[in-house]
């Protein structure tokens, strides 16, 4: 059995995809490979209380310094391998005192922002540019990189972020049991009219304003509402909504819990996701797991994730996405076909497959560092003892 430390850089108590990834991976490894790997989660992050005592303008830097220092002081002698779970803090991979470091990279959106790939995205300051470059350098100096999609792997290659052990694509998984239900009616979520559903934060790339623009383009003869779930809309989005001409048919659901989110997915006529970029993109998979058909852009990894199980349009092609929504609203045969395709699609993103793929990465890193034979001998000896 070999020992792996999962390096956690989250802020305790804050919702987010990195905590989900940590729990998903640790649980999958424990469930499917309990006799081969021992998993420990090592917290490198900064406590919320510490950040609250720090002035706003210094909080980001306080957090990064804490992570850097924790990585530097980590006792790696207890582990055969360490795995940094978020490449956004890639400098920690270059700081930790180990030659067996795996890094998962979820996206390189900040680096793409530096090149002004996204129209209308906020500029990247000098300090952030320095930090982004340091993180990519740390990722490149690791033993091997796990990319959650081929799209993100291609982005890393584009920026010459290529560790000696290479890049392996290890897609995230979907917890299908969280999105199952018994076919809740729209009335249970306060909707008497069919609605389109969108989930996302106020980050520019989630394109909540784009969802409103698509909604505006749906033919008036099709009765439908738009529900936007996520944080409180910022002033910019409020202005877009108020100027849309359809504000009376738009509803915001603020930070729904898991149970409420599942109900909205299951009762929606379609899930609308006009994202400008996704390193992976969990929401379309969540929708498919809940039996909700998907209309999505093809930005970043989304074509990889959705495949043929949804309506896919070029990023920014709002007319095509609007027509896709209309078809799902009026063509029951097509809608049922998309729902069935989504149900099959999510099977490709199981936690078992995540664990198997990640174990392949770990074994490859250990073998490159001369530990493969010892690991094989330990496994062989354990099997011999178990078989008498």
User: Per-residue confidence of the chain (388 residues) as pLDDT tens digits?
Assistant: 999 999 999 988 777 789 999 999 999 999 999 999 999 999 998 888 889 899 988 998 999 999 999 999 999 999 999 999 999 999 999 999 999 999 999 999 999 999 999 988 889 999 999 999 999 999 999 999 999 999 999 999 999 999 999 999 999 999 999 998 765 556 667 677 899 999 999 999 999 999 999 999 999 888 999 999 999 999 999 999 999 999 999 999 999 999 999 999 999 999 999 999 999 999 999 999 999 999 999 999 999 999 999 999 999 999 999 999 999 999 999 999 999 999 999 999 999 999 999 999 999 999 988 764 444 444 444 444 444 4
Confidence at residue 187, expressed as pLDDT on a 0 to 100 scale: 64
For residue 249, what are the contacts with CB-CB under 8 A and spacing of at least 6?
Answer: 215, 224, 225, 226
Handedness of CA 135, 140, 143, 146 (dihedral sign): positive
- pLDDT score for 377: 47
Tokens encoding 176: 């299908």
Pairing assessment for the beta strands 2-8 and 81-84 based on DSSP bridges: parallel
pLDDT of residue 13: 79
HSE-up (13 A, CA, CB side) for residue 228: 26
- The CB density around residue 23, as the number of other CB atoms within 10 Å, is 14
Identical topology for domains 2-173+350-386 and 177-348 = yes
- Sole residue written with tokens 């998962």: 104
Q: CA-to-CA distance for 387 and 380, rounded, in angstroms?
A: 11
| 181, 212 Cβ separation under 8 angstroms | no
Q: Domain spanning 2-173+350-386 has what CATH number?
A: 3.40.50.2000
Which pLDDT score, from 0 to 100, does residue 182 have? 61
Query: What pLDDT score was predicted for residue 183?
Result: 54
Using one digit for the tens of pLDDT, what is the confidence trace for 44-58?
Answer: 988 888 898 999 889
Q: Which CATH class is domain 177-348?
A: alpha beta
Q: What is the DSSP letter of 41?
A: E
Return the C-alpha torsion angle 11, 154, 159, 284, nearest 10: -30
Contacts of 345 (CB under 8 A, 6+ apart): 285, 288, 306, 307, 309
Dihedral (CA of 306, 309, 314, 320) sign: negative
Long-range contacts of 96-99 (CB under 8 A, 24+ apart): 96/7, 96/71, 96/72, 97/72, 99/143, 99/369
CB-based contacts of 350, cutoff 8 Å, min separation 6: 173, 174
Give the residue extent of every domain in the chain.
2-173+350-386, 177-348
DSSP reduced 3-state for 73 = helix
Q: What is the pLDDT of residues 185-217, one digit of tens each?
A: 566 676 778 999 999 999 999 999 999 999 999
């Amino acid at each position: 059995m070999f020992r792996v430390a999962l390096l956690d850089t989250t802020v305790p108590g804050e919702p987010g995809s990195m905590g989900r990834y940590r729990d998903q991976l640790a649980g999958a490894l424990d469930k499917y490979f309990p006799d081969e790997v021992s998993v420990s989660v090592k917290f490198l992050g900064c406590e919320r209380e510490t950040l609250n005592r720090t002035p706003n303008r210094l909080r980001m830097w306080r957090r990064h310094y804490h992570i850097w220092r924790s990585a530097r002081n980590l006792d790696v002698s207890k582990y055969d391998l360490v795995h940094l779970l978020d490449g956004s803090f890639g400098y920690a991979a270059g700081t930790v005192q180990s030659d067996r470091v795996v890094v998962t990279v979820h996206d390189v959106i900040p680096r793409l922002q530096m090149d002004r790939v996204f129209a209308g995205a906020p500029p990247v300051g000098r300090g952030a540019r320095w930090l982004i470059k340091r993180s990519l350098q740390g990722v490149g100096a690791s033993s091997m990189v796990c990319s959650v999609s081929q799209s993100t792997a291609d982005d890393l290659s584009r920026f010459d972020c290529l560790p000696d052990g290479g890049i392996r694509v290890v897609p995230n998984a979907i917890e299908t049991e969280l999105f199952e239900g018994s076919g809740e009616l729209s009335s249970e979520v306060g909707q008497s009219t069919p609605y389109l559903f969108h989930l996302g934060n106020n980050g520019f790339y989630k394109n909540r304003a784009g969802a409103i623009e698509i909604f505006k383009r749906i033919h008036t003869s099709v009765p439908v509402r738009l529900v936007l779930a996520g944080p409180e809309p910022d002033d910019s989005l409020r202005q877009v909504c108020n100027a849309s001409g359809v504000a009376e048919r738009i509803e915001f659901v603020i930070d729904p819990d898991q149970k409420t989110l599942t109900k909205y997915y299951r009762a929606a006529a379609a899930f609308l996701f006009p994202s400008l970029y996704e390193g992976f993109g969990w929401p379309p998979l969540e929708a498919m797991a809940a039996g909700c058909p998907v209309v999505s852009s093809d930005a970043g990894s989304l074509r990889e994730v959705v495949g043929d199980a949804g309506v896919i349009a070029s990023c920014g092609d709002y007319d095509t996405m609007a027509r896709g929504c209309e078809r799902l609203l009026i063509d029951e045969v097509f809608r049922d076909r998309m729902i069935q395709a989504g149900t099959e699609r999510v099977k490709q993103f199981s936690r078992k497959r995540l664990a198997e793929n990640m174990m392949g990465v770990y074994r490859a890193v250990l073998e490159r560092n001369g530990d493969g034979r010892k690991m094989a001998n330990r496994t062989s000896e354990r099997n011999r003892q178990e078989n008498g």
